[in-house]
Amino acid sequence: MEHITTPKVENVKLLDRYTNRKAANGTLYLTATHLIYVDASAEVRKETWILHHHIATVEKLPLTTAGYPLLIHCKNFHVAHFVIGQERDCHEVYTSLLKLSQPVKPEELYAFSYNPKMSKENREIGWKLIDLKVDYQRMGIPNDYWEITDVNKDYEVCNTYPPEIVVPRAANKAVVIGSSRFRSRGRIPVLSYLYKENNAAICRCSQPLSGFSARCLEDEQMLQAIREANPGSPFMYVVDTRPKLNAMANRAAGKGYENEDNYDNIRFKFIGIENIHVMRNSLQKLLEVCETKSPSMSDFLTGLENSGWLRHIKAVMDAGVFLAKAVKDEKASVLVHCSDGWDRTAQVCSVASLLLDPFYRTFKGFMVLIEKEWIAMGHKFSHRCGHLDGDPKEVSPVFTQFVECVWQLMQQFPCTFEFNERFLLEIHDHVYSCQFGNFLGTCHKEREDLKIFEKTHSLWPFLLQKKQELRNPLYRGFTAYKELQPNTLPFSFQFWCGMYNRFDKGMHPKQCVLDHLLSCMSQKMKLEDNASELENKLPFLDGPLPSEACSLPKAGYAASKTPMLNTPQGYEVEPPPVLSNGASAGDVDVTSDVDRKHKENLLHHQGLHDLNDAVDGLDSKAKDGKLQHH
């Protein structure tokens, strides 16, 4: 709170970028964790909350007739344009936000003060929810060819890898240690995913320290062990995800890429995904296009093309498709790396795993995938997301691109993912929010040093509590689709309005067809529960007549089984509800409140017949790949 000099400013305007409506007028509050704007001009109390950690930039604009503008850009692509009446207030809010949005020490991050009133035991259970050993066991590891080893338990091999890694059983400790000395930052080849159908593996590492001619016997033995762990293939691929020119430039610094002459039976391939600096600039250009107030169609499409963003998304997707085809169709193992093996390598291995394994398309599986490929394997979230005040050149939307690749797959295969778009957006928001400990730091060792597991909470239990609203109503189940084969021709990629313009009112409909379907299905479940409850009450409404006392239990049972109550859609007209004395509602002049509610409920059920037809129609369209999003 020491950074907040002015906690409250009144008569602040909030401008709307896309509509010509009158600016909102209200009060701006600064708290220890959030900027809160309360719109006083709205008929219903309306609040805008912006987490300090979400703020990417704060900019003071030139004075206008309305006052002193303050423009805030957020990491989740929210843009807020305030106009403050007094220069002093504007300056104090500006300086406070600069300090609050760029903490210097990790201990200042929100996760260390966030307290959801959860017991210590439940917090610990939350951190144990995702167990990577279980995922390796699901793949059939350990087996004759692969083992889970604690050779890195003291971070002697690599300080950015987790304590336990999966390596070929044939690679002894000397081979592992020797290989680590020949790989950038000690990031040796380790298993990412094993395709059980044919023993082909996806492995990952960093670039070799080969320079122009250096070689390492242990590293060559390590790759041989990976190849021989897949007896069904006489060769393996080594994939460098960088453009060839970039990799060649690294040779001058004593790094580089594998020489095919030095490694037995490898096939080397460059993929050509650009580096973090190109991606950062590309996103900036994309956002400039998104923020253009009234673009023509030509301007928008030209700007989108010039940003190169979708071209980069396609490059990541193409790489994932290549890996998946090599493993499934060619039955060949693949070793993937970029420079240090924590950016492009994580993207490509994750996309390939999603294409090959339906488990990773479930709620739990997707969490496992992020833990395994991103968190455990040392993607530098703290640097790439700018959690702390540091080098801006280290910031890059690497994880954002992966999330978008998943969304692009969901557009092509709308029935194959258990979760919906909102689930992806929730995860993306919390990568930047620092509210939970999962994405803090740069590697497992750093998270241990920060005592993340003792002092913060895990995101995953929080998301699972919201599972009902984050699920995909079109999901066909775990076994409906196995491997995915996406089309990666340019026309297959869409601009993700729901990510980059989701906070802009005038840009797109707020309710897509899947959200509407989910809402209808939720309403349907509530109505069915209500109908069931009323059915149970109905036989005991007024008590049995003396002559029918002995037959009522049977009649009650029959009533609960009758098609009239459970499948009203089978009737052309609504049947009159049966009263507790055996008479129909048409035989008496007065019906009770419960009867009336029951009758209304049956009318609702009649409507549900139409809803069921609509749901079935949407399902079949989605299965045919014809579902259009609006």
105-125 pLDDT per residue, tens: 999 999 999 999 899 999 999
**Alpha-carbon gap, residue 54 to 67, rounded angstroms:** 25
Q: Are strands 190-195 and 200-205 parallel, antiparallel or unpaired?
A: antiparallel
**Alpha carbons within 13 A on the beta-carbon side of 223:** 29
Burial of 370 (0-12, 13-18, 19+ CB in 10 A): buried
Do 361 and 424 meet the contact criterion of CB atoms below 8 Å apart? no
- Cα-to-chain-centroid distance, residue 520: 24
Report residue 254 as tokens.
């004593």
Band of residue 21 on the pLDDT scale cut at 50, 70, 90: confident
**β pairing state of 333-337 and 200-205:** parallel
Helices marked H in 38-172? 87-101, 120-127, 132-138
Least confident of 114-118, 532-536, 570-574: 570-574
Side chain identity, residue 269: K
Calpha distance 517→391 (Å, rounded): 45
Predicted pLDDT of residue 550: 45
What element of type H or E holds 252?
A: none
pLDDT of residue 509: 46
Biggest CA–CA distance in the chain, Å, is 102
- The structure tokens listed for 588 are 């008496």
For 543, the token pair is 């008590």
- Mean pLDDT of the region 588-604: 43
Location of structure tokens 């095919």: 260
224-264 pLDDT, tens digit per residue, is 999 999 999 999 999 999 999 999 999 999 999 999 999 99
Confidence bin at 565 (pLDDT 50/70/90): very low
Q: How far apart are CA 476 and CA 508, in angstroms?
A: 28
Q: Is 309 within 8 Å of 493 (Cβ atoms)?
A: no
Element (H, E) at 270: strand 266-270
User: What residues have CB less than 8 Å from 299, skipping those under 6 apart?
Assistant: 292
Return all residues near 361 (Cβ < 8 A) that are at least 6 apart: 354, 416, 417, 418
The predicted pLDDT at position 571 comes to 31
CA angle 372, 378, 380 (to 5 degrees): 125
pTM (global) more than 0.75: yes
Report the C-alpha gap between 279 and 400 in whole angstroms: 10
Token couple for 237: 């691929």
pLDDT digits (tens, 9 = 90+) for 38-79: 999 878 889 999 999 999 999 999 999 989 999 999 999 999
For residue 25, the surrounding DSSP H or E stretch is strand 24-30
* Active-site residue flag, 338: yes
Nearest residue to 427 (alpha-carbon basis) of 407, 411, 447, 456: 407
> What are 52's two structure tokens?
């300090």
State the virtual CA torsion across 493, 498, 500, 505 in degrees, nearest 10. 140
Per-residue tokens: 394: 């280290």
Q: How many CA atoms lie within 13 A of 544 on its CB side?
A: 11
Please, where are the H alpha helices in 395-542? 398-412, 421-433, 444-449, 452-455, 459-465, 467-470, 497-500, 513-537
Tokens of 155: 């971070």
- Please give the share of the chain, as a percent, with pLDDT higher than 70: 84
Kindly tell me if the per-residue pLDDT of 292 is higher than 90: no
Q: What is the mean pLDDT of residues 296-309?
A: 96
Residue tagged active-site, from 338, 385, 405, 443: 338
333-353 pLDDT, tens digit per residue, is: 999 999 999 999 999 999 999
CA angle, 28 as apex, 25 and 33 as ends, to 5°?
150
